Structure 1
Amino acid sequence: MVRRLSWALSALFLASACAGSPSAPPQADQQAKRFDPPAPSKGALYVYRSGLMGAMRPLDVSLAGGASAQLGYNTFIRVEGPPGPIDIACKVGGNNPNSQVQIQDGQMRFVEVSMNGWGWTPTCEVAEVPPDQGQTAV
């Protein structure tokens, strides 16, 4: 059985001004975009929202352990926590896909959440991306 870890949102809850998402102070935004290594014995996870589909509607994103955020278009959060598997889910309407990312001590990982419109119902997707793609998007 995979152990689910509780990741609390760090002081760096970051989101650009947009679609009902709170904005972080410019200094906090700049600090997160330096991509500093996580604190000792921790890993860092960036979750960002991309794509123009549904730009005016925030996506609900949740992490194992109850941490959650609403990400507007072109926004992100950075969380730090103990190494291990992290479950990430997004929700739009009745669609609630999830993904799991394994984070090692001292490692940074990047996950993209996006909204798609197939048929009459919007859906969201969760996908881990390479660090260079994630840093560029953030």
Structure 2
Amino acid sequence: MNNKTLLVALSAFLIVGCASVPMESSQKTSDAKKFQPPADGKSGLYVYRYGSFGGALKKDVWVDGKCLGETAPNVFFFQEVSANQEHKISTESEFSPNDLLLKTESGKNYFIQQYIKFGVAVGGAGLKLVDEVEGQKQISGLGLASQGHCSQ
């Protein structure tokens, strides 16, 4: 197989394959999608992966160095964190983690989208903060993944 054919095959696999991760119950998913304000002194983090691009790839996500979980297409996580602090949300990429630093406020929810991007050997991942309206809209069609399942 020549290099061009191999590259096309790998690209197709990254785009249309389907990875799966452990999921939470429909009740927990429904509760998380109510987007309630977090408890006093806390902030809510919604970390999600929207769409099917890179479907064969699973990517770890960490919050402040602790495993949040492993993403697949169309899943999200919800976690409350201490408010009024800076938090580091990280995702694995091709060569090193990509980090997003976020200063949180008490009683507020934050929406962080993980996105897949092309890499040299395998796809990488990045993170971006999105506004509440966009985050809620995208999460409304996603499933809640179980926390604490990271590959590394």
For the aligned residue pairs, the C-alpha RMSD in angstroms reads 1.6
Distance 1:68 1:51, change over 3 A: same
- Paired residue type of 1:102: K
Per-residue CA distance 1:63-86 (angstroms, 9 max, x = gap): 104133101100000000211111
How many residue pairs match? The answer is 121
Q: Which residue of 2 aligns with 1:98?
A: 99
Comparing 89-98 with 26-35, greater Cα deviation is found at: 89-98
Comparing 99-108 with 49-58, greater Cα deviation is found at: 49-58
Per-residue CA distance 1:37-58 (angstroms, 9 max, x = gap): 1011111010001242221221
Q: Distance in 1 between matches of 2:59 and 2:65?
A: 18
Q: Distance in 1 between matches of 2:77 and 2:121?
A: 29
Q: Which residue of 2 aligns with 1:130?
A: 131
Task: Identify the structure with the greater helix proportion.
Answer: 2
Q: Which residue of 2 aligns with 1:108?
A: 109
Distance 1:65 1:59, change over 3 A: closer
Q: Which residue of 2 aligns with 1:26?
A: 26
Q: Which blocks of at least 5 consecutive residues in structure 1 are unaligned? A: 1-17
Per-residue CA distance 1:17-40 (angstroms, 9 max, x = gap): x72311111000000001011011
TM-score, scaled to structure 1: 0.80
User: Contact 2:43–2:82 at 8 Å: present in 1 too?
Assistant: yes
Q: Which blocks of at least 5 consecutive residues in structure 2 are unaligned? A: 1-17, 140-152
Distance 1:78 1:52, change over 3 A: same
1:77 aligns with 2:41: no
1:67 partner SS:
strand
Q: Which residue of 2 aligns with 1:14?
A: none
Q: Distance in 1 between matches of 2:57 and 2:121?
A: 16
- Which of 1 and 2 has greater Rg? 2
